[in-house]
Amino acid sequence: MQTLSSAAGRLPGPLFCALVLFLLEGSVVYQAYAVDVEVKDASNETCLFGKWIMNISITYETEHNEYKNTVLTFPEHVRYDGSSCDNEISGPVLAIEFGEGHSWNISFTKTSDTYQGIISFTYNTNDTTLFPDAKMKGLITTSTNYPLHPVDLDTVFICQNVDFVESGSVIQNFQNVILEAFLPSGNLSNQKTVCDKDAVVTPEPDVPHTTSTSTSTSITNTTSITNTASITNTASIITNDTTVEANTTFSSRSISQPDEIPATGTYSVKNGTEICLLANMGLQLNMTKTLMNINPNTTIASGNCGNRSSVLTLTDTSIVLDFTFAVKNTSIERFYLKAVDVTVMNPVNGTQYAASDNLDFWEASLGNSYMCRKKENLVVTPSCSLNVFNLRIQPFQVQNGEFSIAEECPSSDFLFIIPIVVGVFIGLLIVFVFVFYMIGRRKSDSGYQAV
C-alpha cells in the first residue's frame, strides 16, 4: 500500500476546508469547516469514509493569569503526511498538519465486532497569532475517543445534531457526521447507527456511495466553494470536488416558549478532585429575538479555576456559554462577572457568536457567594442577552464543595416599596405644612380684640 507523500499532500488554494461566515444582526459569527474525505488503499478500495462539519475551541491561560478562548482553524494549505489505510488491525489513519506546529489526526482500531476512532490533537501556543499572550509556551496534545461509543463493524455512524468531545481545555464540535472505518469491500454499509443526540429527533440522511477512481492511495475533499482542482504524481492522487449538496437534511434545536421559565440547574467545576466553582441558576438565552431555555438535564459543565480568574463553560446541545470571572484589584478584594461568550451552532442559519469582555455583574467579596432570587437580564450585545433566574454563584475559594455566605442583590420587593415610602412621606409633609399653616393663621387673628 502507498501513502501520501509530502509533495502531493499540499493543496493549492482553499482545497481542504471551506470557511463559512454568516453575519447576523451585528453579532460575530463562529467559524465552521466542512470536510468530505475518502482514504483508499493501494488496491483502490476505501478503508475510511468521513464527512462532517467541525470547529475547535481552546481555552488557555494568559500571562496575566486570566483565561481566554480562541478558535483554531484550518488554513488554506494543509499536509496529509501519515494518512493511510495501514493494516487490518491498527488502521486507517487520517492525519492533518497545518500552521505553526498544529496537527489533528484520527486513527481507528477494531475489535472482533466494533470499531472506534482516537483523535490526537496538538496545538502550539508559540503561535502568537492564535495565542498572543499565552502563559505556557510550546506544544500541547490532547486525545479523546470519537465516536464516543464503539460502533458495530459494517455500520455507518451518523450524527446530524451537534456532538462534541472535550479533552482538557479543548472542545471539538462535530455535526452532520457520516463516518465509517474498515469498510467491507470498500463500500459504505447499508446498516446505520446514530449518536445519542440523534437517537430520537433526527432523521437519517442519505448515505453517499463510494467510488473508485485511482490505482493508489487517495483523499477526496468536498468543500463549499466552486472550484475543481487536482494534483497527480506517480505515488498518489489528491482530488478536490467542490460541490455543495443541496438536499442535505438538517435538524434544529427545539425552541422554548417565550413565557416558559427555565429550570434551575446546579453546576460545578473541579480542580483535580476538589470543587473550585459552584453555580445554581436558570438560564434563558435571547439570541436575535429568539428565546432558548438552557436545559440542566442536557447541559454539561466544564471550565477551570485560577487565583485571579475562573471560567464556567455550559454546553447544552448546540449552545455553548462561557462565563469568565475575575478579581478586582482593590483593598477589599471582590470578584465579578467580567466576560460572557455565547455560541449557538445552527446548520441552517449559520453558527452565531456573541461576546462581551467588559462586563461588571454579580459582584461579591472574595470567599463569599453572590445570590439573586429575582430575574436578572445580562446584555451581551445589542442582539444577544441572557435572562438569569434563581442565581447563586461562587467562582473562587469554595470550601468543602459548598457555598459560603451569600451577598444578595438588591431585592425587587424593596425597590417596589420605595415609591410607596416616598408617597407616604410626601403626604405626611403636606399634612404637617397644612397644620402649621392653620396654627399660624389662628395666632395672627388673635392680635386684634373688640373694645
265-408: CATH topology: Porin (2.40.160)
| 291-306: pLDDT as tens digits | 999 999 989 999 889 8
C-alpha distances out from residue 177 to 44, 135, 158, 180, 193, Å: 24, 35, 5, 10, 11
The pTM of the full predicted model, rounded to 2 decimals, is 0.45
Give the per-residue pLDDT at 210: 55
Separation of alpha carbons 177 and 196, rounded Å: 13
Give the per-residue pLDDT at 384: 93
More confident residue, 219 or 192: 192
Domain boundaries, the chain: 18-241, 265-408
Separation of alpha carbons 31 and 17, rounded Å: 11
Core vs surface per residue 184-222: b (16+ CB within 10 A) or e: eebebbeebbbbebbeeebeebebeebeeeeebbbbbbb
Average pLDDT, rounded, for the chain: 75
More confident residue, 54 or 178: 178
Beta-carbon neighbour count of residue 128 at 10 Å? 11
Residues 6+ apart with CB under 8 A from 413: none
May I ask the CATH class of domain 18-241? mainly beta
| 396-422: pLDDT as tens digits | 999 999 999 999 987 644 444 555 666
Give the per-residue pLDDT at 435: 78
Give the per-residue pLDDT at 42: 83
52: amino acid identity, one letter: W
β-pairing, 369-372 vs 406-408, is parallel
Whether 265-408 and 18-241 are alike in CATH topology: the answer is yes
Q: Which residue is associated with the grid cell 482500531?
A: 109
CA angle 254, 255, 257 (to 5 degrees): 135
Element of type H or E holding 373: none
Alpha helices in 186-271 (DSSP H): none
Give the per-residue pLDDT at 207: 59
CB 246 within 8 A of CB 17: no
Separation of alpha carbons 284 and 261, rounded Å: 8
Say how many CA atoms lie within 13 Å of 321 toward its Cβ.
Answer: 26
Give the per-residue pLDDT at 256: 41
| 67-103: pLDDT as tens digits | 888 887 667 677 878 888 875 556 799 888 888 889 9
pLDDT band at 432 (very low <50, low <70, confident <90, very high): confident
Strand ranges in 111-227 using DSSP code E only, listed in sequence order: 114-124, 139-152, 156-159, 163-167, 170-181, 192-194, 218-221
Specify the range with the lowest mean pLDDT, choosing from 61-65, 80-84, 370-374.
Answer: 80-84
